[in-house]
Amino acid sequence: MKRVALVPIAIALMGIAPVLVAQSGGGGGPSQGPDRPSAPGSNRPEERGAERAERGRSAEEQRQDRERVRATEEQRRQIRTCSQTSERIRDQAREMERISKGREFDPDRARVQRDQIRTEARTLQQDHERFAGSLSEEQRPRLQEQVRSLERAREHLEMRLQQMDRMLGEGAPDARQVSEQARELQRATKEWQKQHRELAAEMSAR
């Protein structure tokens, strides 16, 4: 009789055991308790506010930087003057190329054209030096890379002019070579203008 009475009790205990294990967190399953750490990138209000404040400071700093390098009215005038002079150099170089392609190439006429280009190139250099000297203490460090690029472009332009001088200094210059050098001079002037436009854009002077 005792063995028969123990059977229902054992069956009842077997049914209760899984419930006790689940309640105690057994079985190796992941914990779902309230103490789980927040996932990265939480959208808590205080974090969103800090991000907005940081973006606001960055925008304000960028605005202040733009104001520090903004061109004065005199600098804007100098930039326009340099741009106009460089355009005249390109026009004269195109004319040099044109007269060098003719059937009756005239070296003396080409030399006169070269002298006009030389005059404009000296004017461009003087105007640029005045502009560079007008940069303030705040502008100079922020624009030094653009100014250096512009100076390299000017040196390349000067190198092309020197090559033109050597060609036209010969007793009987070759028309084809003079024409090619005139095209190179146009390219060098175009590169100078590109660097000049980038500097003007940086100073909000375009």
pLDDT bracket for residue 69 (50, 70, 90): confident
Average pLDDT over residues 113-137: 94
The pLDDT of residue 10 is above 90: no
Residue 203 · residue 128 · CB < 8 Å = no
- Residue 51, pLDDT score: 61
Give residues with Cβ within 8 angstroms of 125, minimum separation 6: 154
- Collapse the DSSP code of 71 into the 3-class scheme (helix H, G, I; strand E, B; otherwise coil) and give the result: coil
- Residue 106, pLDDT score: 92
- Residue 101, pLDDT score: 87
Give residues with Cβ within 8 angstroms of 111, minimum separation 6: 168
Q: What is the CA angle 99-103-106, rounded to 5?
A: 50
- Residue 116, pLDDT score: 96
- Residue 56, pLDDT score: 55
User: Average pLDDT over the chain, rounded to whole?
Assistant: 79
Question: Rounded to whole angstroms, what are the CA distances from 94 to 30, 138, 155, 186, 195?
Answer: 79, 39, 20, 7, 20
To the nearest whole percent, how much of the chain has pLDDT over 70?
67
The pLDDT of residue 23 is above 70: no
- Residue 45, pLDDT score: 58
The pLDDT of residue 52 is above 80: no
CA distance 137 to 144: 11
Average pLDDT over residues 186-196: 96
- Residue 17, pLDDT score: 47
CA distance 21 to 56: 54
The pLDDT of residue 37 is above 90: no
Tens of pLDDT, residue by residue over 78-104, are: 999 999 999 999 999 999 999 998 778
User: Which contacts qualify for 21-27: CB closer than 8 Å, 24 or more apart?
Assistant: none
Q: Domains in the chain, start-ordered, CATH in brackets?
A: 64-202 (1.20.120)
Tokens of 96: 């040099």
In this prediction the pTM is: 0.67
pLDDT bracket for residue 4 (50, 70, 90): very low
Average pLDDT over residues 175-185: 95
